[in-house]
Structures are given as structure tokens and as C-alpha cells.
Amino acid sequence: MLDTSTRRAFLRHSVFAAAVAAGAFANSQTATAADAAPERKFKLSLNPGMLGIRANLKDCLALASQFGFEAIEPMAGELSKMSDEAIASFNDEMKAKKIVWGSTAMPNSMNRPDEAFNGWLARLPETAVALRKAGATRIGTWLTPGDNQMTYVENFRRQAKHLAETAKVFEDNGIALGLEYLGPKTMRARMKYPFAHTMREMRELIAESGAKNVGLMLDSWHWFNSSETPADIKALTNKDVVFVHINDAPAGIPLDQQVDNHRALPATTGVIDIGGFLGALIAIGYDGPAACEPFDTSLGRMPREQACKLAVDAFHNAMSKVKA
């Protein structure tokens, strides 16, 4: 039988050992959870027009390297005027600076009558070939969320047909096409017949077209205005997303009164759940480019270096909102 002093020492030792064991278990659980948490695969892209600044490809590469962007916009117009040797040299410089191609965007005529659409389509291979020669593999465009002549069904049928033809041009050049839906109620309210303005509707249009190289150009602003959630993104796969835009919305404005070109840099007002948005992209393993698109006119009035630094800082602030 243990005496009192021995028993107390034994109990103290037992309590200490249990605490150490519990701590070790907790730490192992935390480490396991951390190890299991997926890492960000997508790249912060510099698309200068989205920041309201002017920059050519050479400028973009220098700014990206200076401020920490991981990708740059492949400007098809400029690339189409470069020789194969010049493109190869530029790609070598990008590789040395560990910067990759992001995505660019284009206007489209998919909702126009066949004659106008065919004229536009005939010029499209020049864009696709310029991107292919540079090794860029992504481009995006947006669809107007309504029409004053075509009903929803008429618009859907025309755009599905035209989308298939458009996608074929890019597929022949190894390029994925992203489609952006425009969510604000204030946009479609101006039109007699509303059209696709949600993720679900855009995916229905893509499926109807039968195109295999078409996905979403996913914008946190339009995601927010369409009342979508992280769960909607988590239902996607990496292949379903071609390009991502991130931003915030002005505070104090009801959802149905938000106006498309009044936005802010991501995580600056806290209106959009950017942590949930980015966390969902991480969860699906999205590995494409993400660019800040704030529609903030003040950025265009400041030195472009300052605008770039603000955008990079805003991106990292937004990433800090992501919950494991």
C-alpha cells in the first residue's frame, strides 16, 4: 500500500502524463488537419485593363515580377504581331521569372443573327492562333443577361448553336473558353426578355452546345449578385472553371440595387464572402488564373505601380479570409 506522499507523487505524475498525452494527441490531430487541407493552385494574374491601367506585355511582365503576380494576360492583339522568335524569347523570360500565362477576354457576337455572327467568327482564328503560338490556353467572354427582341428560348437556341461553332475554333487550337454570366438585377431589368444570369443557367447553355472545351468565367461579383454560395462552386470540378475574377461590392446598397461597374478590390468592404468563394475554388482544385476586377476608377488615376501593389495586397488579404 502506498503512503500519502507517495500516492500524491504518483497522482501528480499520472496527471502530468495524461496532459502530455492529450496535448500530443491534439497536436497530431491539428497537424493531420493541416496536412489534409488543400493548397491554393490558382495563380494571381495581372490583367491591366481590369485595374484601369495601361501596360503592354513587356510592362506586365516587369510589373508582375516586381509586385508578386504569378501570371499575366496573354494579349492576343500584341501576340499576333510578334514573330515566332520574339514569342519564344518572351516565353523564356517569363519562365525565368516563374510567371505563366493567365487568361484574356474577348467581346462576342454569339447573340447576333447568323450573318453578323459568321462575319465575327471568320476573324476569330487570328486570335486563337496568336494564343496557341504563345502557349496560352485560356480565353473568356461574357453573355448579356437579356434581349429586347428574343425570348429566353429563342436566345438560348441561337447562342447554344453559335457557342458550339465558337468553341470549335478554340478547340482546334488547344484553348479553353470561359463564359461569364452577369448577375445584377439592374442589368437584366433594362431588357424585355431576361436571359441566363446564374451559374446553373450558364452550365445548361454549355451542355446544350455540346462543346467540351467550354467552362465558366467565374466572377465573385456576379456569384454574389446571383445569390450563389460556396456550395454551388464546390459542386463544380476544376475543368468547369476557366478563369476567375475577384472583387468586392460597395456597402450599404441592397442586392437588387447593385450596379455592375460599381465595385471594389477584394476583401475591402466585406460585403462579398470572398473567403468562402476562394475556399471553394481551393476545395475543387482550381488551377487557373484569378485576376482582380474592381472597376475602381481611382486605380486608373494613380501610378500603375501603386495600383498593382494595392491589387496584390488585396488578394493576399482576401486569401487570409479563407477558412481551412
28 lies in the same domain as 92 = no
7 lies in the same domain as 48 = no
**pLDDT, tens only, 136-173:** 999 999 999 999 999 999 999 999 999 999 999 999 99
**pLDDT, tens only, 30-87:** 444 444 568 999 999 999 999 999 999 999 999 999 999 999 999 999 999 999 999 9
Instruction: Give the percent of the chain with pLDDT over 90.
Output: 87
Q: Exposed (0-12), middle (13-18) or buried (19+): which is 221, by Cβ within 10 Å?
A: buried
125 lies in the same domain as 226 = yes
DSSP state of 248: B
Mean pLDDT of 234-241: 98
Residue type, 149: Q
C-alpha cell at 34: 493541416
**pLDDT, tens only, 168-209:** 999 999 999 999 999 999 999 999 999 999 999 999 999 999
103 lies in the same domain as 229 = yes
324: in domain: no
198 lies in the same domain as 76 = yes
**pLDDT, tens only, 81-112:** 999 999 999 999 999 999 999 999 999 999 99
Taken in order 107, 110, 113, 118, the sign of the CA dihedral is positive
Assess contact for 81 and 133: CB atoms under 8 A. Answer: no
Q: Give the CATH number, domain containing residue 162.
A: 3.20.20.150
> Which pLDDT does position 38 carry in this prediction?
82
47 lies in the same domain as 89 = yes
pTM here is 0.88
2 lies in the same domain as 83 = no
**Residue (of 126, 48, 133, 129) closest to 86 by Cα position:** 133
Domains: count for the chain: 2
32 lies in the same domain as 164 = no
Helix axes 57-67, 84-96, angle to 10 degrees: 10
278 lies in the same domain as 169 = yes
Confidence category of residue 11, pLDDT binned at 50, 70, 90? very low
Q: Which domain holds residue 18?
A: 1-36
Residue type, 181: Y
114: in domain: yes
Q: Exposed (0-12), middle (13-18) or buried (19+): which is 125, by Cβ within 10 Å?
A: middle
64 lies in the same domain as 82 = yes
> Which pLDDT does position 323 carry in this prediction?
84
172: in domain: yes
7 lies in the same domain as 145 = no
Confidence category of residue 295, pLDDT binned at 50, 70, 90? very high
Averaged pLDDT score across all residues of the chain: 91
> Which pLDDT does position 263 carry in this prediction?
96
21 lies in the same domain as 117 = no
